[in-house]
Chains A and B, each alone.
Chain A
Amino acid sequence: MCLAVPGRIVRWLNRDATFAQAEVEFDGVSRVCHMACVPDAEVGEYVIVHAGMAISRVNEAEAQRTLADLARLSELDADEEPAS
């Protein structure tokens, strides 16, 4: 139930503070989502959607950074191994 998935904003339908909605695409399927928690998100950006509502914007730079950090960490280890 805490299942939440990233989707891409296709277009805004309404930007009212309480009733804000946008069309969000998940793997080719579009769905209307409530957007009150991400009022500044832009078309093309990814948001995390849970129970019909976007709860955060996905930060692309952070995603890349996490992957790079983990890859570096495991490479470091691989390098160290033969020496130790």
Chain B
Amino acid sequence: MKFLDEFRDPALARRLLDDIRDRVTRPRVLMEVCGGQTHSLLRYGIEAELEGTVELIHGPGCPVCVTPVEAIDFAVELASRPEIVVASFGDMLRVPGSTRSLADVRSSGGNVRIVYSPLDAVELAKNEPERQVVFFAVGFETTAPATALAVLQAAKLRLDNFTLLVAHVRVLPAMETLMSAPDCRVEGFLAAGHVCTVTGFGEYDDFVQRHRTPVVVTGFEPVDLLGGILDCVTQLEESRAEVTNQYARSVERSGNEASQDIVRQVYDVADTPWRGLGVIPRGGYRLRPEFQRFDAAERFSGLISLQAVSPDSRSNDECRSGNVLSGRLKPVDCPAFGTHCTPESPLGAPMVSSEGACAAYFRYQSLAGH
């Protein structure tokens, strides 16, 4: 497949691995921000190949993993009502809420539909006018344009049975939060390629200067990842800190302006709770006042309260996902990993999601250490 095969070329990948080993004079610590990158690093054995040379700390870039329990509980409550359909990406279904997951409500007769796109949920609302359709809008800047477009389409179609449960998050504020932790060991970042496809990378200039930390916009194939790592360690070895772009086939400095425009029409930036990391200033989006009628939390506030149960009473003692998401704990070092917590019976979201770090380790464990 064009634009994939060339970036999976094993010979080039091997040469890049050698380059990285040659270039590094002492072990370096990098963070890949996006969970999709985490999976590729493990799937292709890159992490194991670089052991002792470059340590990759896995970042919080798994939207499903950082969705607050309150939002999941709210979705679960909605799906239990016969007049409401909750539409969601498949990844969200098995993420545990405080008592149940969306998959649990579905198996007890609740209305949960898996959709591939938020725009399919608009179609659903159009075709089933007798039901309220709520789309569970999770995801980073990559996904926000599609959910924002869903709102614009619903507005044009004058649908009064379509709403969003908004749990969108933004990557850069999370990087900021991680960097300001006193125990942060990250020396350089591989920025999330598809987030930058939308946002561009101009907004990283200030971050790089203030933290004197290189940021390399990086794609998802092995050659992309190794190119990003090589660029990042080269900067560190030369005591440089710049924003560079190793994913130029898909990312321009200014990003995709049409999608930024759609997002700006529909959302405002807002302080947002992240599961495991707390409230992050400017860490997400909320619907703009003129689109409030599409806000599920607002429309159904009479039925259910988003803060019905206090967060303390729901914390799951065994799951260390907060430490995993902030890069303080490797999934394999979590006592529950692979014993009490497996993809079949997950204790936390990082074991469920196709982008979660715990799931990646579980799936590719046999490759690690080779």
Q: Do A and B bind each other?
A: yes
Which positions in A face B, CB cutoff 8 Å?
Answer: 1-6, 8, 18-19, 26-27, 34, 36-39, 46, 48, 50-53, 55-56, 58-60, 62-63, 65-67, 70-71, 73-75, 77-78, 81
Known A19-B153, A36-B149; further 4 A-B contacts with Cβ < 8 A = A2-B355, A39-B258, A52-B119, A59-B252
CA distance A60 to B252 in the complex (A): 13
Interface size class of B (residues with CB under 8 A): 35 or more
A selection of 19 A-B contacts at a CB cut-off of 8 Å is A2-B140, A2-B142, A4-B194, A34-B117, A37-B259, A46-B2, A46-B3, A50-B143, A51-B89, A51-B117, A52-B117, A55-B194, A55-B198, A55-B259, A56-B197, A58-B250, A66-B247, A74-B18, A74-B19
Select one of B6, B18, B153, B250 contacting A56, CB under 8 A.
Answer: B250
List A contacts of B15 (CB < 8 A).
71, 74-75, 77-78
Instruction: State the majority secondary structure of interface residues on B.
Output: helix
Closest Cβ neighbor of B195 among chain A residues:
A2
Closest Cβ neighbor of A48 among chain B residues:
B250
Closest Cβ neighbor of A35 among chain B residues:
B258
Count contacts between A and B, CB distance < 8 Å. 149
Does any Cβ of A come within 8 Å of B184's Cβ? no
Given contacts A52-B117, A77-B18, contact A70 B12 (CB under 8 A): yes
Given contacts A18-B156, A59-B248, contact A73 B230 (CB under 8 A): yes
Closest Cβ neighbor of B258 among chain A residues:
A37
Q: Which of B17-38 contact A (CB under 8 A)?
A: 18-19, 22, 34-36
* CB proximity of A28 to chain B, nearest CB, Å: 9
Does any Cβ of A come within 8 Å of B1's Cβ? yes
List B contacts of A52 (CB < 8 A).
116-120, 146
Does any Cβ of A come within 8 Å of B227's Cβ? yes
Does any Cβ of A come within 8 Å of B138's Cβ? yes
Contact at B22–A81, with CB atoms within 8 Å? yes
* CB proximity of A48 to chain B, nearest CB, Å: 5
Does any Cβ of A come within 8 Å of B112's Cβ? no
Closest Cβ neighbor of B197 among chain A residues:
A56
Select one of A8, A53, A59 contacting B249, CB under 8 A.
Answer: A59
